[in-house]
Structure 1
């Protein structure tokens, strides 16, 4: 589907990458979790997607750092959307697992962070993806792997 076609989009007639671009461009609503957490700068290409966040105190756990659930959400989004970007028309996916390694504490002082996801292997029924969260200086803050089930 291109921008010159009917402005009424039918997600069921789009590839996964086309769906993600439509969300990025505001032609389809984004996933509600992105607004809840405050995700920004969603973009990428087939097989590799990224999303960013500027940490705030609202993301903190009782210890005064960004909650692991927020970090995991960013990693899951980058990895999962990377798999989503490979889907053909009529295909769907669900995450089977997410394994996260927290490597550095993240606070508001860390500044903007970016989760970068990549599909490592895409088969007919499963996909394996990874995601990394980096700060603006390129330091690795967290890493995850995710297995996804692909179905029609």
Structure 2
């Protein structure tokens, strides 16, 4: 599991967003040349791989996501899924083009546990001029689906 260096978490400068394609942007984040989004520190998630149409994340529920019943709040899995979904969409976009989420659907199938390692893979389903859709699965160490989701995103210029 990667250790999150909170000094590397910050908004990505807008000039970088305007001049780098989605894949180029995320490759620079993985390499440490650009900061990772602050949500990575909150949800304890880190991008491992990126290619056009696919984003792979590693994540581990932090203790600050424990709910009153002692389990991991469902919002953690939803956050990790949303990250992988959005990055799969963004990986398809050229420089100067971004997206915003229009809809997200998630299903939780198992209870994640604090401190355990999970992989979350987002994959593009469709990529048009105005909208894109993606799917993602959150997988545990035994290769079981813990949660899955889909998204529809609106494509925008920066």
Q: CA deviation at 1:86?
A: 0.5
Cα deviation code 1:34-82 (max 9, x no counterpart): 0122113432211010111123432211122111111100000001000
CA RMSD of aligned residues (A): 1.5
- The count of aligned residue pairs is 143
2:47/2:55 contact within 8 Å kept:
no
The residue aligned with 2:89 is 83
Where structure 2 has 5 or more consecutive residues not aligned to the other structure, the ranges are 1-14
Q: CA deviation at 1:122?
A: 0.5
1:149 and 2:154 correspond = yes
TM-score, reference length from structure 2:
0.85
Alignment of 1:59-70 (within 5 A): 59-70=65-76
Partners in 2 of 1:89 and 1:56 — Cα distance? 33
SS of 1:149 mapped into structure 2: strand
Partners in 1 of 2:102 and 2:71 — Cα distance? 28
Where structure 1 has 5 or more consecutive residues not aligned to the other structure, the ranges are 1-8
The residue aligned with 1:50 is 56
Partners in 1 of 2:41 and 2:63 — Cα distance? 16
Partners in 2 of 1:51 and 1:141 — Cα distance? 14
1:64/1:107 contact within 8 Å kept:
no
Partners in 2 of 1:11 and 1:94 — Cα distance? 14
TM-score, reference length from structure 1:
0.88
Partners in 2 of 1:31 and 1:40 — Cα distance? 10
Cα deviation code 1:114-141 (max 9, x no counterpart): 1110000111110010111000111001
* Structure possessing the higher radius of gyration over alpha carbons: 1
